[in-house]
Amino acid sequence: MNQRPLLLTQGDPAGIGPELSLRAWLERDRAALPPFAVLGDPDHLARVAAMFGWSVPIAPVAPEQIRSAFSDALPVVPLSVAVSAEPGRPDPAHAPSVLESIDRAVRLVRAGSAAAVVTNPIAKHVLYDAGFKHPGHTEYLAALAAEGGAETCHPVMMLWSEQLAVVPVTVHISLSEVPSALTTDLIVLTGRIVARELRDRFGIDRPRLALAGLNPHAGENGAMGTEDARIIVPAVDILRAEGIDAAGPLPADTMFHARARGRYDAALAMYHDQALIPIKTIAFDEAVNVTLGLPFVRTSPDHGTAFDIAGKGIARPDSLMAALRLAARLGRA
């Protein structure tokens, strides 16, 4: 069994990440959570705990002390900067701590000090205002993975739950850009990574992939768009020729009901909302965002920063706890 702990990033300090980190630690025994540490500011987390009246001792630690500290206190690996944030009030000035937390978590995991990175949510537009050039964690983690001359990798976003796993082939782009961004090569590359990681990390011997069409009724023989026949059909053919169990393009409106979900292990959707609407509808509290294609394990809750409820103490920690459990499972594989 892998004894290394997990590293949980700070996320946006004005969002629900700080309170969820504290709540996850409070639930550690009941929810059988693996040991983890937050990469953040111990004083900030202590202030958030005090704000709610939660009894959470905070232990500033070095990475090698996380496991021994975890049962009695929430271990926090301190950042180089102090964090001061008001719940629900995002500010681009928080960007340095947000990014330092991610950077250090990746470095520590790659150095073998921890088993996996679990990220608390970030608000992308807030980081953009501070000059951040990557669309989101998914793409930023791939850039970090490539640092130091390592081979570039193609990150694949998968949202996973016991009921459904979905993969958006195109991710953080506008809907109007999707048809031109969608290529047979991109779909094949994504399908290969999903099939490989479902087998190697999730232990599914022969993963079944279902590819959604882009257009209504998967194009209705070209009457409602040609991308399905021109781009997706050849991708399915290539994947099948490689021995991957791939089906499609399937009409997206009928592939997510309960009986249809039993026919595949992961649905490859052609754009962000085609993938995320079904899983967030079915499993908002349990689903986990996991990045495939990286040389390390990264998971995250499926939800965002939820500024509308930050500081109210009503945010549910379920998805973060599912992300911690999945990270521990995948980090052992």
Ligand X SMILES: NCC(=O)COP(=O)(O)O
Chain residues binding ligand X by CB under 6 A are 136-138, 276, 289, 300
Gap between the Cα atoms of 209 and 265, Å rounded: 6
Name the minimum Å distance from CB 47 to ligand X: 26
Q: Does 305 bind ligand NAI (CB under 6 A)?
A: yes
The amino acid at residue 161 is S
The residue whose two tokens read 């939660």 is 54
Interface pick for ligand NAI out of 50, 254, 308, 312 (rule CB under 6 A): 308
Cα four-point dihedral sign 174, 175, 177, 183: positive
Q: Near ligand NAI by CB under 6 A, which window of 80-88, 99-107, 210-218, 306-314? A: 306-314
Gap between the Cα atoms of 283 and 182, Å rounded: 27
Nearer of residues 78 and 304 to ligand NAI, judged by Cβ = 304
Q: How far is CA 242 from the centre of its chain?
A: 28
Interface pick for ligand NAI out of 59, 186, 282, 309 (rule CB under 6 A): 309
Nearer of residues 58 and 123 to ligand X, judged by Cβ = 123
217 is in an annotated binding site: yes
Q: Near ligand NAI by CB under 6 A, which window of 79-87, 157-165, 261-269, 302-310? A: 302-310
The residue whose two tokens read 């992961």 is 266
Nearer of residues 185 and 308 to ligand NAI, judged by Cβ = 308
Q: Spell 164-201 as b/e; 16+ CB within 10 A means b.
A: bbbbbbbbeeeeeebbeebebebbbbbbbbbbebbeeb
How big is the site for ligand NAI, counted in residues (CB under 6 A)? Answer: 18
The amino acid at residue 3 is Q
Nearer of residues 138 and 161 to ligand X, judged by Cβ = 138
Q: Does 85 bind ligand NAI (CB under 6 A)?
A: no
Binding mask 101-140 for ligand NAI (x = CB under 6 A): --------------------xxxxx-----------x---
Gap between the Cα atoms of 273 and 82, Å rounded: 36
**315, interface contact from ligand X, ligand NAI, none, CB < 5-8 Å by kind:** ligand NAI
Q: Does 215 bind ligand NAI (CB under 6 A)?
A: no
Gap between the Cα atoms of 187 and 204, Å rounded: 21
Gap between the Cα atoms of 301 and 283, Å rounded: 11
Cα four-point dihedral sign 185, 262, 296, 43: positive
Asked if residue 19 lies in contact with residue 310, where contact means CB atoms within 8 angstroms, the answer is yes
**208, interface contact from ligand X, ligand NAI, none, CB < 5-8 Å by kind:** none
Rg (CA), the chain: 20
Nearer of residues 52 and 284 to ligand X, judged by Cβ = 284
Binding mask 11-50 for ligand NAI (x = CB under 6 A): -----x----------------------------------
How buried is 308 (Cβ within 10 angstroms: 0-12 exposed, 13-18 middle, 19+ buried)? exposed
Nearer of residues 16 and 235 to ligand NAI, judged by Cβ = 16
How buried is 59 (Cβ within 10 angstroms: 0-12 exposed, 13-18 middle, 19+ buried)? middle
Q: Near ligand NAI by CB under 6 A, which window of 73-81, 148-156, 174-182, 311-319? A: 311-319
Nearer of residues 70 and 140 to ligand X, judged by Cβ = 140
**298, interface contact from ligand X, ligand NAI, none, CB < 5-8 Å by kind:** none
Positions that interact with ligand NAI (CB under 6 A): 16, 121-125, 137, 289, 300, 303-306, 308-309, 315-316, 319
